[in-house]
Structure formats: structure tokens, C-alpha cells
Chains A and B, each alone.
Chain A
């Protein structure tokens, strides 16, 4: 019997090629499930052409591909597929914006953005490949970006 790992969806959004193990962080950034009542399915450690990956599917909701660019910090190779009637009608590779707000925590414990202040963390992209980001407040570059994801 063919194993049904990934059930196709009729309408909605498929986020593919998420770095294996990071689906949960992607959901967190997208505020799922709090922000949606849609059916969401997650597949982890799926074998793909380029090794293992995670996949997230959100049914009956077309997420704005550009809004999803912020997940590029966690999943730089992710692709966003908009599905209508089982067909991919739009495909988008995530692209890092020049600034990411509220996604990662600064690794510097004495950074003011980690204090009880009414601001969100804010990073500027120093370089996209290799990925380097810099805290807008304290200029510090985190060594492990994924570790700081909120």
C-alpha cells in the first residue's frame, strides 16, 4: 500500500522545503493555530530531493506569500504554494526582507530589546548568503540565528 504521507489539499497554502525540524517554529511565527481556524497539517522529516524537509499545509486559506517572507530566517529555502482546486496557481520562494521585526530574540542578554520595554526585537540583514543579521539596537550579530527565533 502506498503510504499516504502528505495528503493533497483542495484549496489553501502549502509551505514546502522547510528546513527539517523547523516546522513548529514556522507555525509559531505564523501564529498558528491562534490566528486561524483552518485545518493545518504538518509533515516532518519528509525525504525530498535535497534531504529531509518539513511541510506545512493550511487549508482554505491563501496566506500572503510576501508576508511569509519573514519565515526566511528560519527556512531560507522554503517555497510558498497557493493551491486552488488541487492545482498550484502561484509559487513563491521566500525572500528575506531587509529588516525582520519580532521574529528573533537578540542573543545579547544586556541588549535593551531584551529588557521590559515596549519594543519588538528588530534585525537588519547584513548579508543574505551566508545569512548574517544584526540587531538594530545593539549591533550584535547572533552566531546561531535559528536559536534566537521566538
Chain B
């Protein structure tokens, strides 16, 4: 079995085969009691993680820090780009060289696409991409797959509806790719102006998946097993009027859910704004908070696979 993750960079979900992903997800299952603090473990106690957040993302950063701490490791780094030497004009490459010398693994979040790939070139230690601009965010993708797997027992053959900003939302692009790799059935629901790019649809087709595209959520939700909701971001629109017109298009509330399957699960990468009514939180459909928790076991699994090989 080829499964050597030791010292591997985690830059894009596309760097992984289906076998790799399955191995990570299965390993993450073992991490759940440790992630909850029900069991203790310190397999990473000799390691230091550099957490370099060149743009703020509290959820992702805390999730990585918690994962490292749960495994007995330590974390150094910064959460606020204004405090870094990049402000003084230092190149990313030089910051990476420094972190490389100070730690055993680097987690990087950066506003520019390709930053993690570049970091991997300048670091001897492994790099984990925690989001690079509109580019990749592989740990988000893995935790989404993990959530579907743990709730539905399998990824393939589920009917998964991706809803919202499918044009600019990077999460949905990687997710559509990965779900196709596993052979899920896909429906893309978005306003006309925010449709899934053709390249992403073509990638799905390469895996033999024929996604449906529609503007009609009412119909799509009827036989959905998973509804994956994304936020429509204001900064994507040239003017406020266009944004206001589009943002109210879809609203997930209890009325809509009357038509849904009993075991439909609703996911969201968070933060949400108005796209899911808070009344849905109390229903058994709402999985988004558990999904956010799943970031911990997934990141624990990755950290220990990359730093220690397979060990638990």
C-alpha cells in the first residue's frame, strides 16, 4: 500500500489520489475522541508548527492551532498581517525561509493565489495550504468530504446540491472536483450570473459525472441527500444594486425544507450571513456546526501523517 504522507506538502486537493483521500478520511475518524478531548495523545510533542496568516481567518487558524495542541505540539506564528515584516517589504520567500528554520511544519494562509505552492519551493519542512486567495483550500475540502462520509457512510451515489456563488467560490470548485472523483451525483444551483465555470464542469465530466445546472432550488432539493450552501460575497459585485438583487435569491428556511428528504443534511463552510435562516439551526438537517468541528480531526490527521507518517 502506497501511503507515505511523511513530509508531503498539502497544497491542493488535486495533488491527492482517491486512495490518498480515503486514507486521510479514515485516519481522521480515529482522531475524533482525541479532537473532543475525551482521550489524550502527545505524538507531536517534539514538533513546532509555524502558523503564518497573511490574512485573517479566525476559524481556520484556531482549528489548526487546536489540532496541533491536541496532539501535544506547539504553535508559533502570527494572525495579523500588519504585524509582519512583509509590511516592511520582505518577500514571502524570505518569510518562509525564516519559518522553515524555526519550525517543523508551516501552515500558510495568504491572499494571493499560488502562495502556498511558492512557499513549498522555499521550505524544507512540509507546507500546508490554509487558503491562497481565490485558489485552493485543501483542508476545507477534506473536512467537507469527511462530514459527508461520517454522516452518510459513503460519498459516492449521494445526490449533492451545491448552492450559491458557484462562480467565485473556491470551496465549491475543489469540492465539485473531489465529489466527482468519488462519483457523487451533483446538482449546481446558482443565479445565472454566478454559475459554475465551464472548466470545473469539464473536470467533473472527466470522472464520468454529469452535473445538472439550474436556478431552481425548490426542485433540486426534493431528492437531495446533501445541500451545500455558500455565501454570496458582496466584494464580488461591481455595484451594490446587483448584489442586493442576487443575494436574496435563495434562502434556506423551514418552509423550503418541508419538501426535502428527512435525512437531508445541510452544510456551509461558514461564516454565513442570511443564506440560512437561524430557525434551521435547531433542525436535525443542520450539520454546519458539526462540519466546523470536523476541521479538527481532519487537521489532526494531516498533521500527524505529514510529521510522523502513520501513527496512532
Contact = CB atoms under 8 A, between A and B. Distances in A.
A22 to B, nearest CB: 27
B113 A111 contact: yes
B113 A138 contact: yes
Interface string A86-119: 0000000000000000000010101111011111
Q: How large is the interface on B (under 10, 10 to 19, 20 to 34, 35 or more residues)?
A: 10 to 19
Interface in B62-120: 91-93, 110-115, 117-118
B121 interface: yes
A112 B91 contact: no
Interface string A136-148: 1111110000000
Nearest to A112: B114
Nearest to B115: A112
A101 B114 CA distance: 15
B12 interface: yes
Given A119-B118, A135-B114, A112 B92 contact: yes
26 contacts: A106-B114, A110-B113, A110-B133, A110-B134, A111-B114, A112-B92, A112-B110, A112-B118, A113-B114, A115-B91, A115-B92, A116-B91, A117-B92, A118-B91, A119-B93, A136-B114, A137-B113, A137-B114, A137-B117, A137-B118, A138-B114, A138-B133, A138-B135, A139-B113, A139-B135, A139-B136
Interface of A: 106, 108, 110-113, 115-119, 135-141
Interface of B: 12, 91-93, 110-115, 117-118, 121, 132-136, 199
Given A106-B114, A112-B132, A138-B135, 18 more contacts: A108-B113, A110-B112, A112-B115, A112-B117, A112-B118, A113-B114, A115-B112, A118-B93, A137-B117, A137-B118, A138-B113, A138-B114, A138-B117, A138-B132, A138-B133, A139-B135, A140-B113, A141-B199
